[in-house]
Chains A and B, each alone.
Chain A
Amino acid sequence: MGSYITFPELLIWLPLLAGISCFFIKQVEGAKSMAILASCIVLAVSVASLFYTDASKYASYNNVNYYWLKHIGSSFYLGLDETGRLLTFLTALSFPIIFIATQKNNYKNPGAFYGLMLLTMAGLMGVFVAIDALVFYFFWELALIPVYFLCSRWGGEKRIQTTFKFFVYTFAGSLLMLVGIMYVYMHTPQRMFGDGSVSEHSFALQSFMGALLQPGEQQWLFWLFFIAFAIKMPVFPFHTWQPGTYDQAPTAVTMVLSGIMVKMGLFGVIRWLIPVLPAATSMFANVVIILCIIGIIYASCIAMVQDNLKKLVAYSSIAHIGLMCASLFALNELSVQGAMIQLFSHGINIIGMWIVIDLIERQTGAKHISQLGGVAQKAPVLTIFLVIIALANIALPLTNAFVGEFLMFSGLFKANTWYAVAAGFSIILAAVYTLRMIQKVFYGETNSVTASVQDISFVEKASLGVIVIFIFLLGVMPQHIIEFTKEAVTALITLKK
């Protein structure tokens, strides 16, 4: 416990406090500025944390351990490691972009809207820095609940139905995980706290990794955890909550959901599933990978025939996430490194996609491909941004996603040739549905729906510009992010042995 406040705490408390105070702001502009300001400060903190990575020198900056529920062996234990740093940075970067890009959307009761958004941010940050299972679970739910209210109050016309499904589905998954956590907890060794008190069991990650579990127990525990994470990601066949929710949620929330929240599932696999249950992981890795690959092809096929733009992006996201999940389970250096890069890249790219779709929907009121056309004539700059982001989404070289996908595919190839061959078809299918979307929405002649489309304003240019800069930066010089995550990758793949 340091005598000063640490990065993980700042990352959680700042959005939490800002979020709570946002509830009391009545004016639209006030709440909006508060949210933008708070998220920018968090971004600044996160950027600062990138410079204090050296664990040996700055341990007291990055770790904090409050004695919380000592008698049951839980402590408020937070820490920033490489993966956590990457994802907190993604979160911190995404929220200002989301707030700025969607600021023209009007919400009734804006204080509550922005407050809930910031609470979600706090929950996400907590998930990415928690080292204690109970704290992890706490933040896991904290991130979910505000989203429920956001979707059910500010969503589209079918919001109640879809949000209910989304909530019950993900919550059921969480409960499975809770059962898993409790079971592992009962098998952890006793824990000695710094002040000499002892608890019988412990919720700390280290204790979880040292839990005495029989192979048979590991096997069913694996599925408890995996299903919880798989629903969150989502992996085929647990994905059906997602397209509807993405479609119905307000776009700002969809951005959070697709850009960051799905990463919670992947992060859970990296931080908890593989380290805690290594034997079961290597046992079931092939099953999971095959499931993911089916999902990749399946989701890509469905994306090809989607007319709803938002659902199209949702299905393409299922395909991308499936690839990342498969790569994590392939557990070799290439694939895991690729997945790490893609964790970040996918978040950035998909938020960019949503920004463009939001701009179009806000101006035309249409979100169906068949209604649109000829947007390129009216909004050339928007089109350029969209084309860049869409091409990044299909992993064109020199964009960020290429590096990630290239490494992931080569890792999968190394694990099993046929995995890469089967999953590789998604490269073709992705091109088909993305180009079809570009063609039908942006090219061609304008129609009555798109005739009044305006090109984008400076603010939107700026937020999309940031995304494009990241796309090329990581695409041309990925070695920086590789260096940044190298240790996490090594740590993960050595668990296999």
Chain B
Amino acid sequence: MSNILELVWLIPVLPLIGFLINGLGRNNLSRGMAGIIGSGVVLASFIISVMLFIQVKSGANFDRSYFDFINISSLQLGFEFKVDALSSLFLLIITGVGFLIHVYSTAYMHDEPAKDFAKYFSYLNLFVFSMLLLVMGGNFVIMFIGWEGVGLCSYLLIGYWYKKEENTNAANKAFVMNRIGDLGFLLAVFWIIAKIGSVNYDVVFSAASLARFSATDITGITLLLFVGATGKSAQIPLYTWLPDAMAGPTPVSALIHAATMVTAGIYMIARSNALFSLSEFTMTVITIIGLATALVAASIAIRQNDIKKVLAYSTVSQLGFMFLALGTGNYVAAVFHVLTHAFFKALMFLGSGSVIHAMGGEQDIRNMGGLHKHMKITSITFLIGCLAISGIPGFSGFFSKDEILAGAFGHSQIIYGVALFTAMLTAFYMFRLYFITFTGKFRGTHEQEHHLHESPAAMTIPLVILAVLSIVGGYIGVPEALGGNHALAQYLSPVVKSAAHHLEHSTEYILMALSTVLVIAAILFAWMKFKNYQGEGEATGFGRILQNKWYVDEIYAAVVSKPLAALSVLMDRVVEKKGIDGFVNGVGRAVNYGSRQLRLIQSGQVGAYVLLMVIGMLVLFFIQLFA
């Protein structure tokens, strides 16, 4: 089996081939073929990834530079891959969840024309390729290639239905916000290059290199990297693109905007934990931003009525939890939560896709209700997702979230308090969503009700698989307090050194019990409030602010976009046309004017000429006299 290491390059190349076949042959491929090719290559990558995972688990490490990307004396940069415990885990998530979503898409996108169907799969494959580059890259630049690549695919897929301006606006917003983060990432990379002359992980994270960084360097680099992460992983202040990104097809939201791409920031920070651990300041910033994002997004989610928007804000909130874990040095918990979140959030997004499919494109939960009767599999799997994200004991979310909360408790009790409150909110809004959608009476049109049906097998099978994973996924990280040995932490230990505080087992029991009780209380509260949902009145006061998402978009528009546009118009109309070009044209005009004036001397009056001549002679005479 050692030859599997020789095949590592196939993992990203296979989706790339899928992209090329689907992209170039989109006019000739049938839907079936496009789906099979698109899903098949990802499945093949998944199989290789599994074999690779087994190898890595038994201690193998993979490091290889395939060719020189840029090789000059002040920078040696190879096209290199690195597969270790951390990246092999991400490989499994990307290809595994990715494959399920590809399969799901074959049914979900079936109403598209064959041409667009192939285009869709080519984009998805390109996304998988980029994401694989991101996690497999052996240096920051290869990571950045994937980093921008996934941003591009996200842009293309959000704007997939490009005829509607709303969608393309969302796509542009996503790309630009990501670019703001990317600038931070790039500057961090430049900083590293300026100091070390290399961007290879092994070189940068080696003790010798770390010693060459001053404290300012470390803080600067890590802060800039974190700016990059806030863009990609939708944290304050760059999170507003993610809810808008729901304009894309639902499987895309599941794959890109829940399970994989948005976790790139967490991957990057976990990968660079050697650097981050050295900067107390950055870690504090990450903690605060993560916590604030978790809380703000959860509060917004309470008042949203679009099924996908609720899930989107929930994603932002959960990502905030992950950053909270990173900030408290609890890297393993963050990665653990990435894993479990990938399962249950992909599950819920696909579930929502199933609902939307059944409702004929309707996304507003106020027009749903009582769907449990009509689509049992979707309903039950969705419920499992909700239980998992709420952190009910026994489900995967419980283990990962509990670990984050425990880490936060060890750090500061205030942070813990806020995080726990956010966890309660999470349970509340998720079950609000569940009860409004699946219980009570149907509130949509008659036609919609008639049309309600369970989705085809290609959609329900991925749901079931993800539901199972959402339950069992947590058992790879059972904490010692519950008699486990935390297999995940051990697996990751060569790469990620967790710096979390260790708590007494008794404290942990209390924390677990507390959070469980509070979460169940929140669920019960949601049940009472929404079991017979009949629509609610116009939101007032604070609810209105939440409904309008704290007016963040409006504030950004007023503070950034509009002034910038106004400034640009000012530059164009005034500085450019009147100022610089005005000056250039002014020079021409001055010459013109001067010539016109001089021409007047040429009057045609002989007397005038003679007078001028005499004056000239006198001037010459006097010059001669006095010089």
Contact = CB atoms under 8 A, between A and B. Distances in A.
Interface of A: 165, 168-169, 237, 239-241, 298, 301-302, 304-306, 332-334, 337, 374, 376-377, 391, 396-398, 402-403, 406-407, 409-410, 413-414, 417, 420-421, 424-425, 427-428, 431-432, 435-436, 439, 442-445, 477-479, 482, 486, 489
A442 B584 CA distance: 36
Contacts of A165: 584-585, 588
Contacts of A436: 172
Nearest to A300: B568
Contacts of A407: 70, 75
A394 B567 CA distance: 22
Given A301-B568, A439-B172, A410 B163 contact: no
Contacts of A403: 70
Given A334-B74, A414-B194, A435 B172 contact: yes
B479 interface: no
A334 B75 contact: yes
Contact of B168 (A241, A298, A417, A439): A439
Interface in B19-49: none
Given A302-B568, A409-B190, A397 B149 contact: yes
A86 to B, nearest CB: 16
A428 B561 CA distance: 12
Given A444-B165, A479-B69, A435 B176 contact: yes
Interface stretch (B180-188, B294-302, B324-332): B180-188
A417 B195 CA distance: 12
Interface in B43-88: 67-75
B581 A478 contact: no
Interface string B167-210: 01101100110011011001101110110000000000000000
B149 A398 contact: yes
Interface string B149-171: 10010010001001111001101
Contact of A424 (B69, B183, B585): B183
B426 to A, nearest CB: 33
Interface in B438-487: none
A71 B154 CA distance: 67
Contacts of A482: 70-72
B617 interface: no
A403 B69 CA distance: 9
A305 B187 contact: no
B580 A432 contact: no
A209 to B, nearest CB: 24
A301 B176 contact: no
Nearest to B569: A305
B67 A479 contact: yes
A140 B171 CA distance: 45
Interface in B62-118: 67-75
A305 B172 contact: no
Contacts of A302: 568, 571-572, 576
B565 interface: yes
A457 B515 CA distance: 65
Interface stretch (B140-148, B395-403, B413-421, B520-528): B140-148
Contact of A304 (B152, B182, B565): B565
B499 interface: no
Given A168-B588, A169-B584, A409-B186, A397 B148 contact: yes
Nearest to A301: B568
17 contacts: A333-B74, A334-B193, A396-B149, A403-B70, A406-B70, A410-B75, A410-B190, A413-B187, A420-B187, A425-B183, A428-B180, A428-B183, A431-B175, A435-B171, A443-B163, A444-B162, A444-B163
Given A304-B568, A407-B70, A417-B191, 15 more contacts: A165-B588, A240-B584, A298-B575, A301-B571, A301-B572, A333-B72, A334-B74, A391-B152, A403-B70, A413-B187, A435-B155, A435-B171, A443-B168, A478-B69, A479-B70
Contact of B67 (A391, A396, A477, A486): A477
B564 interface: yes
A304 B189 CA distance: 27
A427 B149 contact: no
Given A305-B565, A439-B168, A432 B176 contact: yes
Contacts of B72: 333-334, 337, 482, 486, 489
Nearest to A305: B568
A302 B575 CA distance: 10
Q: Which 8 pairs, one residue from A and one from B, show the smallest C-beta to C-beta distance? A: A413-B190, A397-B145, A240-B581, A443-B162, A301-B568, A410-B190, A479-B68, A305-B568
B190 A377 contact: no
Contacts of B567: 301
Contacts of B148: 396-397
A431 B187 contact: no
Contact of A413 (B171, B191, B585, B588): B191
Nearest to B71: A479
A397 B144 contact: yes
A304 B570 CA distance: 12
Contacts of B171: 435, 439
A471 to B, nearest CB: 14
A431 B179 contact: yes
A333 to B, nearest CB: 5
Interface string B119-157: 000000000000000000000010011011100100100
